[in-house]
Amino acid sequence: MSRRLSMTIEQVSVDPAVPYTPIDDFPKRLQVKHGSLPKNLGIRPWQRYRSLARRKSWSINSRGENGTDPDAVPPLTALSIMFGLYLLNPTSHNPIHRALFVSYPVSNKGYSKGLHDITFVIFYIIVFSAFREFVMHEILKPLAKLNGLRNPAKVLRFMEQGYSLVYFSLSTAFGLYNMYGTDLWYFHTRAFFEEYPHKILPGAFKVYYLLQAAYWVQQIVILILQIERPRKDFKEFTLHHIVTCMLVIGSYMLHFTHMGLAVFITMDSSDVFLSLSKLLNYVKSRFLAPVFVVFVLEWIYARHYLSVRLLICTVTEFLSIGPNMLDWDAGLYKSWLSQSACFSLLLTLQLVNYYWLGLILRIAYRYAFKNIARDDRSEDEEKEE
């Protein structure tokens, strides 16, 4: 291989005025060694950027000269520009208004849906990016060191799980707020279909749904760029995120938002205790055991009992309650086609959840009988420096 490549290079015609440089004089990183090309010779620009982003994000000590987090500078700059442009004309006529606030008000009934919602989602993806960096580096990193964490890998995991705890706590509370006082309370599945289609949403409900869309799209970006270090269940994790994005976007566009609200609450509420358990495990807290028990019970209740109820209702109630009509022009999509799509996505989530339940029960067994509290999905963090 090396000999063939050398012969090929020597056969290339060159300008006689330019001295020929043999392969042995090339920089070492471009030389052919041991019959193989350098590993980075064929890397595409986006792959190189992803590699740089990954190395940078996996380091907890990256700071600018003024002590700021460089990852937070681009989103903060974008937000500053957006707010500055809005303050020049703080009215609904300003195009920036559709990014900061939900659009399409319908008198006192609520808000309808439209393309401007995409602008809102994109803007809050940037907001979540800035918020994530601020919470992780300005609050959680000092808190990790205050609790005696010195291993960089564990500090980084503490920061990531701490941010998850903050987000899922807020989203669960906001979701329950939107469910309370409506026909949906408490997971009343008939309300998903009785007044379909749900084209007009209360303001808080619409904000909640679009923020969920922004968060999960941002999580897909984090997975693609591998900003967070992948775990052993990376494939299942990616599948879960893709299905969740399809659910939040699809249910919003097809007007099944009431069902979507219930699904998101079941997922977010269990993730609250998952993140809290991991944080307590990192700092070796004496409260780990009771919180872990609550987490296991909440996971089974929310992700299997309640979620299975939601899955069953797509078979027993989806077409038997409320109007059934497939009319693309009128925006009516309640038919066997949407039923099949909804059932397939929820079933996929349930299968992934059962896989994770097996891991959770194995961790619980080891913790109860062997006093070993370790997440099987995590890479070996003890060996990392």
Alpha-carbon separation of residue 295 from 20, 289, 290, 302 (angstroms): 68, 10, 9, 10
Q: Clarify whether residues 210 and 344 are in a common domain.
A: yes
Instruction: Calculate mean pLDDT across residues 151-170.
Output: 92
pTM strictly above 0.75:
yes
User: How does the average pLDDT of the chain come out, rounded?
Assistant: 80
What is the identity of the amino acid at 73?
V
What is the Cα–Cα distance from 206 to 272, expressed in whole angstroms? 22
Cα 214 to chain centroid distance, Å, stands at 9
What residue type is 307 in one-letter code?
A: S
Quick one: which H or E segment has residue 214?
Answer: helix 203-225
The amino acid present at 205, given as its one-letter code, is F
- For residue 261, what are its two tokens? 């609200």
Q: Are 22 and 146 contained in the same domain?
A: no
**How far is Cα 307 from Cα 353, in angstroms, rounded to an integer?**
10
Does some domain include residue 350?
Answer: yes
Shared domain for 26 and 151, answered yes or no, is no
Residue 343's contacts (CB-CB under 8 Å, 6 or more residues apart) are 311, 314, 315, 318
Q: Would residue 90 count as lying in a domain?
A: no
Confirm whether 198 is domain-assigned.
Answer: yes
Structure token digits, residue 22: 């043999």
- Report the pLDDT averaged over residues 352-374: 84
Q: Are residues 36 and 132 in the same domain?
A: no
**Residues 213 and 159 occupy one common structural domain:** yes
**List of E strands, 110-225:** 110-111
Q: Are 110 and 201 spatial neighbours (Cβ–Cβ below 8 Å)? A: yes
Lowest-confidence region among 46-55, 290-299, 337-346: 46-55
CA 225 to chain centre: 12
Nearest to 159 by CA among 169, 149, 171: 149
Count CA atoms within 13 Å of residue 103 on its CB side.
Answer: 18
DSSP-derived 3-state class of residue 41: coil
Q: Are residues 13 and 63 in the same domain?
A: no
Distance between CA 210 and CA 222 in Å, rounded? 18
- Distance, first Cα to last Cα, the chain: 38
pLDDT tens digits, residue range 295-334? 999 999 999 999 999 999 999 999 988 888 888 888 889 9
Domain membership of residue 104 (yes or no) is no
Asked if 165 and 283 sit in the same domain, the reply is: yes
User: Is residue 121 a part of any domain in this protein?
Assistant: no
Q: What is the mean pLDDT of residues 18-42?
A: 45
- Residues 227, 132 contacting (CB under 8 angstroms): no
Query: Does 249 lie in the same domain as 196?
Result: yes
Residue 231: give the domain boundaries: 53-70+128-370
Residue 47 lies in a domain: no
Region of 272 please: left (phi>0), alpha (psi -120 to 50) or beta. Answer: alpha
Name the residue with tokens 């509370």: 173
* Burial class of residue 208 in the structure, from the number of CB atoms within 10 Å of its CB (0-12 exposed, 13-18 middle, 19+ buried): buried
How far is the C-alpha of 175 from the C-alpha of 261, rounded, in Å? 7
Q: Answer yes or no: is 291 within a domain.
A: yes
Nearest to 228 by CA among 283, 273, 163, 169: 163
Indicate if 138 and 31 belong to the same structural domain. no
Would residue 84 count as lying in a domain? no
Statement to judge: residues 189 and 317 lie in one domain: yes
Tens digit of each residue's pLDDT (9 = 90 or more) over 49-91? 444 444 444 445 445 444 455 666 777 788 888 888 888 888 8
Higher pLDDT, 239 or 77: 239
Q: What is the DSSP letter of 353?
A: H
Residues 12 and 136 in one domain: no
How many domains does the chain fold into? 2
| Residue 263 pLDDT grade (very low, low, confident, very high; cuts 50, 70, 90) | very high
List all residues 6 or more positions away from 225 whose beta carbon is below 8 Å from its beta carbon: 49, 50, 53, 54, 57
Co-location of 208 and 340 in the same domain: yes
